[in-house]
Amino acid sequence: MRRIVSVVFAGCVSLLTFLTFSGFLGSHHWLLDITASFRIQYTIGLLLLVPAGLIVLQRRIHVMWLLPALLVNALLLGPFFLPLARAADPPTNPLRVLTSNVLAHNRTPQAVIDYLRVADADIILLSEVQPDMLTQVIQALSAQYPHVHDAAQRGHFGIALLSRYPLRTAQTHRLGINRHPSIQATLAWQDQVVTVYGAHPFPPLGADGTFRRDSELAAIQELIAQETGPLILMGDLNATPWSAPLRRLVNTIDLRHAAQGYGIWPTWWYGSSALGLPLDHVLVSPEWQVTAYTLGPDVGSDHYPVLADLVLP
């Protein structure tokens, strides 16, 4: 019996180790890129195997087999959980941004409206927003958000930007193979021009879906590479921080995840939170300091909203 348990333990360790390292080859095949997405689950699984191995293995030294994979995943997750150095006295009036995939067929639009009212963000990006829902949101929150750039549409790729502050410029880009809408806008805040991008690329469903998503992220990367000054990219990007195209985007144009120092948790789930992935992001340029980062509540979608407070030190 103990031998069987040892074989099962070794199998679990081998599988998690293979998945851990195969994720680094995501640029070569879409399935390998999918394996990069479950870093949180790999880490939890490996951590659970440590006490299990110490209990069931005759030679406890064999628990060391899982350390390489555990170390790699810990290094990838570490920047999100280790506290960052911050200014001792940051400004008290942050720019609060919020991104929420509200689900195209959301049956509780009032839950979305109620949360947006309470969250009191300065800039809101809504994705998967249908024209009917956006009309309800605008009617309910027009006093808070008098400035709207509307790219809502039927289906799963409508998008809209709501702002407390006047938008100096705003335009809709049709990017990638599918030409789904993305938003580029600028606004004045604290005597500086802030650029905001909002996007919702195609989901990586199979090789074709992954190619379509990657084409949109590459096009967004090209646009942002031309920008200067404080910049924010947010939305349901249908990629985790460890996915090849998002890593390329972040590293190439010097952005960072607002979640760094605050923890990284699934914002989308498939049937169970155990299968959830962090697909919704707020990415910021080096000028920004993040003073708060949280996930919002269930608003009738399969995604949680993401809220971040940003300051310019």
Residue 244 resides in a domain:
yes
Specify the pairing of strand 147-151 against strand 159-163.
Answer: antiparallel
Q: Please tell me the predicted confidence (pLDDT) of residue 87.
A: 63
214 CB burial (10 A radius; 0-12, 13-18, 19+): buried
In terms of domains, do 28 and 134 share one?
A: no
Tell which residue, 181, 197, 201, has the closest CA to residue 125.
197
Single pTM value for the model: 0.93
Q: Please tell me the predicted confidence (pLDDT) of residue 51.
A: 83
Q: Please tell me the predicted confidence (pLDDT) of residue 169.
A: 97
Neighbours of 203 (CB within 10 A): 16
In terms of domains, do 205 and 290 share one?
A: yes
From first to last of its 313 residues, the chain has per-residue pLDDT tens of: 667 767 787 888 899 999 999 999 999 999 999 999 999 999 999 999 888 777 666 666 767 888 999 999 999 999 999 988 766 666 778 999 999 999 999 999 999 999 999 999 999 999 999 999 999 999 999 999 999 999 999 999 999 999 999 999 999 999 988 899 999 999 999 999 999 999 999 999 999 999 999 999 999 999 999 999 999 999 999 999 999 999 999 999 999 999 999 999 999 987 766 789 999 999 999 999 999 999 999 999 999 999 999 999 8
- Domain extent, residue 56, equals 2-81
In terms of domains, do 61 and 120 share one?
A: no
Give the full edge-to-edge strand order of the sheet including 192-198: 167-175, 180-189, 192-198, 231-236, 280-284, 256-257
In terms of domains, do 49 and 159 share one?
A: no
Q: Identify the bridge partners of residue 283 per DSSP, sorted by sequence position.
A: 233, 257
Residue 216, domain CATH: 3.60.10.10
The DSSP code sequence of 182-197 is EEEEEEEETTEEEEEE
Contacts 24+ apart (CB under 8 A), 59-62: 62/6, 62/9, 62/10
Q: Please tell me the predicted confidence (pLDDT) of residue 1.
A: 61
In terms of domains, do 161 and 23 share one?
A: no
Residue 90 resides in a domain:
no
In terms of domains, do 37 and 125 share one?
A: no
Residue 205 resides in a domain:
yes
| Distance, CA of 257 to CA of 246 (rounded, Å) | 11
273 CB burial (10 A radius; 0-12, 13-18, 19+): exposed
In terms of domains, do 129 and 232 share one?
A: yes
Backbone angles phi and psi of 33, in degrees to 5 = -70, -35
The number of distinct structural domains making up the chain is: 2
Provide CB contacts within 8 A for 206, sequence distance 6+: 30
In terms of domains, do 31 and 105 share one?
A: no
In terms of domains, do 101 and 76 share one?
A: no
Neighbours of 110 (CB within 10 A): 12
